[in-house]
Chains A and B, each alone.
Chain A
Amino acid sequence: MNALRHHRALTEIWGTPRGWRGTMISVNHSDIGKRFILAAFAFFAIGGVLAMLIRAQLATPDSAFVGPAIYNQLFTMHGSIMMFLFAIPMFEGLALYLLPKMLGSRDMAFPRLSAYGWWCYLFGGTILIAALVLGVAPDGGWFMYTPLSSKIYTPGINADVWLLGITFVEISAMAAAIEICVSILKLRAPGMRLDRMPPFAWYLLITAMMMIVAFPPLILGSILLELERAFDWPFFDPAHGGSPLLWQHLFWLFGHPEVYIIFLPAAGVVSTVLPVMARTQILGYGAIVAALIALAFLSFGLWVHHMFTTGIPHMALGFFSAASALVAVPTALQIFAWIGTLWNGRPELKLPMLYLLGFFLVFVLGGLTGVMLAMVPFDGQAHDSYFVVAHLHYVLVGGFIFPMMAGAYYWLPHFSGRSRVPRLGEAAFWMILVGFNLTFFLMHLTGLLGMPRRIYTYTDDMGWTWLNLLSSVGSFVMAFGFALFALDVGLQIALSRRSRRNPWGAGTLEWAMPIPAPAYNFASQPEVADRDPLSGDPLLALKLARGEGYLAQARHGWRETMAVDSSSGAIDHVVILPGNSRLPIVTAAVTGCFFLSVLMGYYWMALLPVMAVIGLGWRWAWALGSRADVGPMAIGKGQTALVHREAAGGPAWWGSIFLLVADSVLLASLLFGYAFLWVVAPNWPPPQTIDGGLGVAIMTALSGSAAVFLARRSEASGRQGSLGMAGQTAIGAACAHGASAIGLLVIGITALPPPSNHAYAAVAWVLLAYGILHALVALLCAAFVRARIGGGYISARRFREFEITRLFGDYSGMVILIILLCLFMPSIAL
């Protein structure tokens, strides 16, 4: 077929309309990825300006530049912006843009979800920045310790802005995490076994899995703290059986993995760029993957190292100190694997390599101070001092910014189709490197000389004056370096000459396409037989453009891409992805209304957007599917495959699984909180525990189980084609779910003390609310199945709705049993 005509036909299907309408409805991963990157950079600039204000204030002792009220907002917003609005979205953007291209696929698994995540991020970030402009920004530090952030000590909305704004942004992180997992596991080019995936995909797979486990504790913590602030539910108030330490546990249970979540994607960039710079392949691919797995697990056993000074017994501190030391081993392994790679090849000092050298220097120093801080006695002195500020910037800037800048220069030709402007990048590099070390190296000493972090001023007699002045000078040098970088990138995009394809001679698939990349990535999808498909076959790009791969046809306006078996890479089915849609932006806006109503304290009004989101969610799911069977269809190379609607284990199923994993981590965190308060908090046992309600509980459990049973019956009839029967049973299941929701509510009203009475009652109510919520979700799923049957979307070949409904229904049934056990067991045992 004619390549140009083919290009036009595919662009028609995958492209985005021009103008505002296109901007609002696009769900294309390249568009969304670029937007994430741009916005994240803008937030980096804002965070950087705040940092400059901080350094201006601290440059001299007794400075009168800003007072404590403003200074507290400055560092809180600096930290929060850098962590939540810059680092995470930045790598999400890179992942969204690159992953499908590297995996030889045409888009991510849930394009509308990427778009929804993007809008949530944009709106949530805007709320935070608006608060900064209005002078009501959060001011409790980026980890918002209670009780300082509780209502008595922060009566204004500052803390609510943080809790709600960050949670809103977290939605986008969760969406990205689920989507990255499913895309990497399912949407790869045929033949790409797990051990043929490019290292970057491994890094992101592990990162995304970590996010799925790490973010729920923070989301839970934010919900609990917001409940405490809004309704006096005393989770963190020791006078009523709460504990300020519960917040710290939940926060750091998220917070420590978070720093690895930020580091790993950047390390993935190193593992991608460095071998290309050395014209060789990475050394120890398997060892690196094993190190990543070890890192992922270990990083969840470190969180207490942020709490070494909270009076926890020495033995428990020892466990976490040991784990914190241990986590340095997989990191060291990677460092030496990279150096070994350089030894194996012929490294050239191109600009990305220069930034990688900066990464080595800075990150290794940061890692070493990290090991020091992991030692309990030393942390007693260094904790909350400028030593920690130095350490955290060495790891974050060294472990994230330097590799990402290497990546920026490496992939910029891919984004822009142009090669870079000579020499500007080198100048920026040296300014950033020198400025950075001047700023932060000295801070180690400032910290050891006793300067605590988060202080807005100091006196001359402390002996910190010259150190601070030099740090401030260094920070301005660094800031000019970043400005130069931005200028360089701008010039390259606007003015520079065109780049040839694959300018670095890389072997990964993202270079097997014209640059800048077309909307559909690959005119036909490759068959992959080794780790660097492009090195093995330099003409691959041409062959794919000529349509010699899979799914070369543009048909029915379908956005088709291949799905494979997650480990063997064998062809599984064809996924037809949804196209451009207004739903993501509308749903995100409505979600934003929810957060704004809660922020303003209009709690009842917040129910309106909740209803609207349910309606939109319904439409979201409804828009998928088809009323006709397709059967095996041709995918090229003389092979056929089923379409995802007619095959088991499609993206929706996997996405639901990962969503439920995140959901169960949330529940597990809540149960951890329950047990933690029970064991550790003062003023336990509570004055009133659950009283009666056992009968209702048994009925609730029974109706939950009945729902599970009915859902299975319904599915069985559906598969046999007796749709009327299936529909009726589905309605039965929905009613049973509804009954268990009501049962849980009745238990709360009749048997539990009011939630503001004691942390016990508050947690019990949250458990019930969790159960009710899930019963309602299961109810909606069952009702959805009934509606789909009525709409003719279900046939003996197309019954995916049953499978998803079963997942959510089973989860709800299980959760209700767990919750009832947790509520009633202790009072029976006591």
Chain B
Amino acid sequence: MMLLARASMGMIWWAFGFSLLYALHGLGCANGWISVSLAGGSLFRWILVGIWLVLGFGGAIVIRRAWIMPVGFERSLAVACGIAGFFGTALTGTPLMVSSTC
């Protein structure tokens, strides 16, 4: 069990980030946070983008931690999930750059 949890850290991180972005987006739109504008976008969008970058950084750390595990099945899984989670965070965040916020 613990092995599985450690090995899926990358995807857990993705799930956390995804939920965070979705929840914040919902909250922000409901409370009119987009009305503050900044540097060609809304402050709200920049905050979301900032969080996205932090999440990506966290994802990189997860990969790094997986990388230094002792060689074996667990490490292979952890590295693969780390990369998947990192790529997932990158891709699922792209709408932050493209789409209208609310």
Q: Is A–B contact present in the complex under a CB 8 A cutoff?
A: yes
A567 interface contact, C-beta 8 A: yes
Residues of A within 8 A of B101 (CB): 313, 315
Known: A319-B95, A322-B92. A290 touches B81 (CB 8 A): yes
Cα separation A314 to B14 with both chains bound (whole Å) = 21
B102 touches A313 (CB 8 A): yes
B22 interface contact, C-beta 8 A: yes
Among A278-298, those with CB < 8 Å from B are 286-287, 289-290, 293-294, 296-298
B80 touches A290 (CB 8 A): yes
| The one of B26, B80, B98, B99 that contacts A680, using a Cβ cutoff of 8 Å | B26
Among B1-41, those with CB < 8 Å from A are 1-4, 7-8, 11-12, 14-15, 18, 21-22, 25-27, 29-30
Known: A313-B102, A314-B100, A316-B26. A322 touches B95 (CB 8 A): yes
Cα separation A313 to B42 with both chains bound (whole Å) = 15
Residue of B21, B77, B85 with highest tally of chain A CB at under 10 A:
B77
- A298, closest chain B residue (CB): B88
Among B54-102, those with CB < 8 Å from A are 73, 76-77, 80-81, 84-85, 87-88, 91-96, 98-102
B88 touches A323 (CB 8 A): yes
Known: A319-B21, A319-B92. A294 touches B1 (CB 8 A): no
Cα separation A314 to B93 with both chains bound (whole Å) = 13
The number of chain B residues touching the other chain, given as a range, is: 35 or more
Residues of A within 8 A of B11 (CB): 293-294, 296-298
Cα separation A319 to B80 with both chains bound (whole Å) = 22
- B78, closest chain A residue (CB): A290
The interface bits of chain A over 42-64 (1 if a CB of B lies within 8 angstroms of the residue's CB, else 0) are 00000000000000000000000
| The one of A185, A297, A315 that contacts B14, using a Cβ cutoff of 8 Å | A297
Residues of A within 8 A of B100 (CB): 313-315
Known: A293-B77, A316-B26. A301 touches B92 (CB 8 A): yes
Residues of A within 8 A of B94 (CB): 318, 322
Cα separation A323 to B92 with both chains bound (whole Å) = 6
Residues of B within 8 A of A566 (CB): 1, 3
B92 touches A297 (CB 8 A): no
A326 touches B99 (CB 8 A): no
Residue of A313, A321, A680 with highest tally of chain B CB at under 10 A:
A313
| The one of A286, A301, A314, A329 that contacts B95, using a Cβ cutoff of 8 Å | A314
Known: A313-B29, A319-B95. A301 touches B18 (CB 8 A): yes
Residues of B within 8 A of A294 (CB): 11, 80-81, 84-85, 88
Known: A286-B73, A319-B18. A297 touches B8 (CB 8 A): yes
A293 touches B81 (CB 8 A): yes
A326 touches B91 (CB 8 A): yes
Residues of B within 8 A of A300 (CB): 15
A567 touches B3 (CB 8 A): yes
| The one of A289, A297, A315, A567 that contacts B102, using a Cβ cutoff of 8 Å | A315
- A185, closest chain B residue (CB): B1
